[in-house]
Structure 1
Amino acid sequence: MFDPSRDQVRTFFIEAWKKRKDSQIMTPLESMAANLVAMHPEYHEDMEDPDALNREFPVEQGRTNPFLHLSMHLAIAEQISIDHPPGIRQAHQKLASRLDDHEAAHEIMECLGQVVWESQRLGKPLDNDTYVDLILRRAS
């Protein structure tokens, strides 16, 4: 299983964004990451900050960690592309039928955050059925 460090994740997004700005050739995953950054202009400054690798994003400052947010987008896109957990693709389609694709991903992100938090709190594996059910409820 791929388990990158915090610095590796941050470097990946920063380099993908730099490649896009410099019109360099990118891998498909880098292109996807750069497109996600492009959809979030509020993160552009963070991607270009030389201190971004070391910066903290405490909740108390009222800012979302851009690297966490973008990583969740990437994870959700991958889940939808392979329909895992089963049913997430259909649940996404239902959400996207009433919201734009980006807003649908943000709704799914809220559900993912909830099931990850519950999993960590209870010390149990992530409940895929609850995850998909939460998404379907938001789609209703």
Structure 2
Amino acid sequence: MFAPSQVEVRRFFCATYRKLRSGAPLIPMEALAADWINEHPEYHADLADEEAAVAAVYSVEDGRTNPFLHLSMHLTITEQRAIDQPTGVRQAIDLLAAKRNSLHEAHHVAMEALGQMIWESQRSGLPPDGHAYLDRVRRAATTD
């Protein structure tokens, strides 16, 4: 399993942003990341200064979203949808995107469910519950 460090993740997004701005060719993972970077211009300043990005601390108390976590979750959900893992997530996200009229908004809803699953796993010490995650996304897709 690929498990990059926090520094590697931040450098990846900063390098992708740098290549995006310069028009340099992107490898497939960078192209996916670039799509989400373009959807979040509010993060461009964070991505423009790699050394500041590596040193930055994003605490809940600051009330600021961690752009690297946010973009990483977009990539995670993109991959989950692409391979339909957990099984049924593609359909649930597609339904949610149709309901919200936006794949981006569907991702943000799925992020909440993904974050909840991770938080519950950390709190309980149990493995992440993919079924509960999928159920949350499905409920959001099928209820008003």
TM-score by length of 2: 0.95
| 1:135, distance to aligned residue in structure 2 (A) | 0.3
Aligned to 2:2: 2
Please tell me the root mean square deviation across aligned C-alpha atoms, in Å. 0.7
| 1:14, distance to aligned residue in structure 2 (A) | 0.3
Distance 1:56 1:29 in 2: 25
| 1:51, distance to aligned residue in structure 2 (A) | 1.0
Distance 2:46 2:28 in 1: 22
Listed as ranges, the gaps of 5+ residues in structure 2 are none
TM-score by length of 1: 0.98
Aligned to 2:77: 76
The AA in structure 2 aligned to 1:89 is: R
Aligned to 1:90: 91
The AA in structure 1 aligned to 2:16 is: A
The AA in structure 1 aligned to 2:68 is: F
Distance 1:46 1:35 in 2: 16
The AA in structure 2 aligned to 1:101 is: L
Identity %, equivalent residues: 49
Structure 1 segments of 4+ aligned residues over 6 angstroms from their partners: none
Instruction: Give the count of matched residue pairs.
Output: 140
Which is helix-richer, 1 or 2? 2
